[in-house]
A and B are shown apart, each in its own frame.
Chain A
């Protein structure tokens, strides 16, 4: 005869000795020994942080092209939208303007924040004149100068400055050359991190600038298999395990329709939110709540108990 057990009732059947405190202490000791052993054998990765200084000294042409792109408004940051600026409308999900609902709460105008504001602290007359000329020009004129210089740099990818033979670049070459000098000395890192508060804890501006780089920051990440198409966020530098628990989150970015969607972040975040809700609601989903009965893995888990009943 099968003993029927109502799981909502307090257990009144046979028991076995158990020491919850002893079990807990042994578990902590076991985990401590495991962690210590793994730490001694495998240590942990520490790939040194990069800076605007290391970028400009390692790949000055990329720095120059990116900085010019900030003035031309062609970088990712310059066209980002909320929460940094109004340059673009953020992705939507049906009628929901998800990216825009909170507005611009972390204002960053790359041309100003990354270029003209830092240059203002330089005590250099030619740079000051160039910045003054830039600010005095119309937005249309600024765009023409910056775009012309960006196009010219694009044709000479190894160049860090170009002669303005056609008088088309305006003050841009002077500004960018001065910015490169600042960056190479490390002054630009300091300028961007202290622009809002004198003691920096917020690295939004230098990181956004670095992330706009096409030939440095992204390349370093790709070499460490951290790219978005390499299951990036769940990986760690070197051969260490990373955030493997983000595997499902990373998976969606590797498959269609998310892989080629310009709205991938919104779609993946929404999907993961929905799946998380589903996980929490497993107990009330008719099909899922019956799965443990249909696939009897519980027979293995309670093998001793079932054997005892027989």
Chain B
């Protein structure tokens, strides 16, 4: 093993900065086959995530009970709610689009898997959001969801009835996790490029890994 291969910093630089050209990261052109409405749903999912973070940050300014007593707070809660509804609609269409494109071809399995992990992490983040509404809906969801988590022994650590824990998970740990996974997913897409069309005779798959 050479000295460069042993050097952690050099290895990190090689696997990140040097694995991608500026044109890959911030492209001003795309392969000619990238011409379909289905491609819009990926960027719309990211745009919805941006809106979720922005509206969520506004809601953090006055605390979890603000939206119950202020019309301004209620409006931002509505923005947050509709952003999450749009987020999942776009994400699911994006996911199914990628399935029918067999988008894991050409050693893109990691891209597919990070997308699935992002989907699951988003579901958990959304659940914690519903748990911290501090209204009847959140109370009911907390008492129902606890049975699922308790049945697996997870409830001993993630207590849906503990609003304080749900708040911290929702505004800190889980958005951070979703953000990291999504950035990783996007970097994989940029590094590997957009998967090309399936050939008529489909003789070349390029491998899943």
Contact = CB atoms under 8 A, between A and B. Distances in A.
Nearest to A263: B151
Interface in B131-183: 133-145, 147-153, 155-157, 159, 161-165, 167
Interface string A15-43: 11111110110011011101110111011
A99 B109 CA distance: 34
A280 B44 contact: no
B196 A99 contact: no
- Residue of B33, B105, B135 with highest tally of chain A CB at under 10 A: B33
A49 B116 contact: no
Q: What class of interface size applies to chain B in its complex with A? A: 35 or more
Contacts of B4: none
Contacts of A244: 85, 88
A15 B29 contact: yes
Interface residues of A, number: 105
B17 interface: no
A302 B38 CA distance: 10
Contact of B81 (A44, A100, A228, A263): A44
B37 to A, nearest CB: 9
Contacts of B207: 8
Given A265-B151, A305-B35, A293 B88 contact: no
Contact of A24 (B47, B123, B198): B47
B62 interface: no
Given A13-B32, A16-B35, A268-B148, A301 B82 contact: no
Main SS class of interface, B: helix
Interface string B1-45: 000000000000000000000000011111111111010100110
Contacts of A293: 102, 198, 202
B109 to A, nearest CB: 5
Interface string B77-116: 1110111011010001000010111101111110011001
B43 A27 contact: yes
Contacts of A304: 33, 35-36
Nearest to B41: A27
B82 A298 contact: no
A28 B123 contact: no
A49 B86 contact: no
A202 B161 CA distance: 7
A99 B104 CA distance: 36
A16 B81 CA distance: 36
B127 interface: yes
Given A6-B106, A38-B85, 8 more contacts: A18-B28, A20-B26, A46-B68, A47-B135, A83-B159, A204-B159, A210-B143, A211-B143
Top 10 nearest A-B pairs (CB, nearest first) are A201-B164, A7-B106, A265-B151, A8-B206, A39-B78, A283-B104, A102-B156, A27-B47, A83-B156, A7-B206
10 contacts: A27-B47, A28-B47, A39-B81, A102-B153, A105-B157, A266-B152, A276-B120, A291-B99, A298-B198, A301-B97
